[in-house]
Structure formats: C-alpha cells, structure tokens
Chains A and B, each alone.
Chain A
C-alpha cells in the first residue's frame, strides 16, 4: 500500500506539473479567459456540464440550509 501511495502521488504530481506547464504555455502564447468562457458557453456539452455543476451546488446549499439552519 505504501509503495502504491508513492507511485500514485508521483504520477499525480507529474500530471499536475504538466497541466500547469500547459496552462502557462497557453497564457504565454495569448490565451484569454473571457474568450474561453464565451466559447465554452456556446459549446452545448460544456454548457450542459456547467448547468449540472450549478444544479449540484444548489442541492448542497439546500441540504446545508436544512441541516444547519
């Protein structure tokens, strides 16, 4: 288990590092968050996921209000 933890953490760290490098390269080469958001909204799949995400947030908020008042 300990060995597997080390392997998993190493893989995760490498992937996160590569992701950060990709995002950094993207922003250095002229990416714009507003443009990305605008394009994502027009994409039906991403807009669907965003609506699903908002729905989950609403459910959590409802339960939070019911439990903690």
Chain B
C-alpha cells in the first residue's frame, strides 16, 4: 500500500473518531483492527495488486471510480456511515430494554397472588431511596453517577460484544486506535538517537512521512571483498563438487548393480532360495544407491547453495551501510 493511501486511511479513521460522540460504541462497531485491515485490503486497488508497506510513492495516479474516489476511501466512508448510524441506534435498544423489563415486572405483578405485598415491597425501596441519597456525601453521588453511566454504556453493548471485551479484544482495539501520550512513545531509538524507522514509517505526532533508510555500498570494502570472495567461493564450490560427484557415481553404480542382480535373478537362477537371496541383495543395493544419490543432491543443493548464500550474506553485512536521506 502506498504511503499516501495509508496516511489517508489513517486520517479518515482519525476523523471518524473525532466525529464520534461515543468512542466506545464506535470501537465496538469497528470490532477489531484486523477486521478493518482486511476491509481496507479488500477495497484497496493499487497497480501492484498487493497490500504491503511500500516506501515508493505513487508514480501514476491510481484507478478511481466514477466519482473520482478510490475504492478503499469509499470502504472507509461506508464504515464511518455505518458506525455513525449505529450510535443513535445503540441508545434506542437500551430504552427498549428498560421498557421490556418494566412490562415483565408488571406482568409478574398481575399474575402473582401476593399482589399487594409485592407492590408494597417494590414501593418501599423507591420511597427509601431518596432519603439514602440525601444522606450520602456528594462524592459518593458523583461516583454513583459515573457507575450508572458506565452501566448504561454496557447495557447498549450486545452480549457477544461483552464476551469479546472480557477476552481482551476490546482492549486490543482501544490500544490500537489510541495514540501514545506526548513524550511517551514506545518506538525504540537507533544508535544515532533517531527513531527506529522499521517500526513506523511516519511521524506519529506530526503525521509526516519519515525518510526510510537507504543501503549504500562501502565501495572499497566491496571491491576488496569481491576480489577475495569470488576465488574463495569458486574454490569452495569445486571442493564440494568432488564429494558430490563421488556420491553420484556411487549411487549410479549401486543402482546399476541392483538392476543387473534383479534381472539375473529371474534369468539364470532356478532355485527359489537363491532368487530370494539375490532379490534381498538387490534391495540393499537400491537402498544404498538412493542414499548416495540423495547425499550428492544434498552436496549440490544444500552445501554449495549454502556457501553461496553465506558469502552473499557476509557481503551484505560487511560491505553495505544504512544511510538516511
């Protein structure tokens, strides 16, 4: 995904949170960061056709729809509309639930026999409540109001969502969308004091793109390394080719001997016991042939390729340095 598009998507999400009256309800609507990533990935339509962090900026304008809006922006807009539309609806079910509870209570009062006693019992706490409230200090009442507000917020949430919040997914989503406080970033610092660019390619506080580290060769070291590494690598390959060819010859010889023994067992021998001995010997020859063949393949495909990769990795380590623009 291009940096511009990624930043634009982040900006849209940030705006969504700014517009939301209830962030908690919005987070529940968004469900999880993974889900949002999948939605954006499906909607994203780049020339590369892949969703990956790309340091290169867009060389050509992307494919736009009829309105001139990219697909992923439309997807995020749809999510925002859904989220904003869900917020008023979230409050409505709570009121409906309260009404339903009242109806249930009324039904019970109508059907139960001890109607008057129950009515008195239910009425007593209501009468006593104002007195208790008056006796409580103002701080307690403030705490209670906070608790009731939280309870109301929880009532809005469906049961499945509550289970998710218990399992920690909600915390994860909140942590994902929250920005770190100023001066407290989890981004590790480089040796030169700068931020680790592999973690965030943009500045969280300012939102500006950061310069990615560029790899530059140390020319002298590279020349010296090439001068020594190429002859040494060729010598190592030749040395490793000797056992590879040796094992290849052994395997070919063993397999040919096995084939000859099998053909001879069915041509010249008449006694069953002798044939069994020859077939057993042929099987052992085939087994050894297979083992030698695989050993030769391992020398070529494993050891020689490993040496070449090792030399390349060493060159990468010794002869290149990372610089920032």
A interface, CB within 8 angstroms of B: 1, 4-5, 8-9, 11-13, 15-16, 18-27, 29-32, 35-36, 39-40, 42-43, 45-46, 49
Contacts and interface: CB of A to CB of B under 8 A. Distances in A.
Contacts of B260: 45-46, 49
Contact of B277 (A9, A27, A43): A27
B281 A23 contact: yes
Interface in B66-117: none
Nearest to A15: B287
B255 interface: no
Contact of B273 (A1, A9, A29): A29
Contacts of B268: 39-40, 42-43, 46
B282 interface: yes
Nearest to A13: B287
A16 B281 CA distance: 9
A21 B281 CA distance: 10
B291 A26 contact: no
A23 B277 CA distance: 4
Contact of A8 (B267, B269, B275, B290): B290
Contacts of B280: 18-26
25 contacts: A8-B290, A11-B287, A12-B287, A12-B288, A13-B287, A16-B283, A19-B282, A19-B283, A20-B280, A22-B276, A22-B279, A23-B280, A23-B281, A26-B273, A29-B272, A29-B273, A30-B271, A31-B273, A32-B273, A32-B274, A35-B274, A36-B269, A36-B274, A43-B267, A46-B260
Choose among A11, A22, A35 the residue with the greatest number of B CB atoms under 10 Å from its CB. A22
B302 interface: yes
Contacts of A21: 280
A29 B92 CA distance: 91
B286 interface: yes
A68 B284 CA distance: 33
Nearest to A42: B268
Contacts of A1: 298, 301-302
Interface of B: 257, 260-261, 263-264, 267-269, 271-284, 286-288, 290-291, 294, 298, 301-302
Contact of B271 (A24, A31, A46): A31
What are the 7 closest A-B residue pairs judged by CB atoms, nearest first? A22-B280, A26-B276, A19-B283, A26-B277, A23-B280, A15-B287, A31-B273
A30 to B, nearest CB: 5
Given A43-B264, A43-B268, A23 B276 contact: yes
Nearest to A35: B274
Contact of A27 (B267, B273, B282): B273
Given A8-B290, A26-B273, A26-B274, 17 more contacts: A11-B287, A18-B283, A19-B280, A19-B282, A22-B276, A22-B279, A25-B280, A26-B280, A29-B273, A30-B271, A35-B271, A36-B269, A39-B269, A42-B268, A43-B268, A46-B261, A46-B268
A20 B283 CA distance: 9
Contacts of B291: 8-9, 12
Contacts of B274: 26, 31-32, 35-36, 39
Given A15-B283, A15-B290, A26-B280, A46 B264 contact: yes
A19 B284 contact: yes
B129 to A, nearest CB: 72
Given A1-B298, A8-B290, A16-B287, A36 B267 contact: no
B139 to A, nearest CB: 67
A45 B264 contact: yes
Contact of B276 (A12, A29, A35, A39): A29
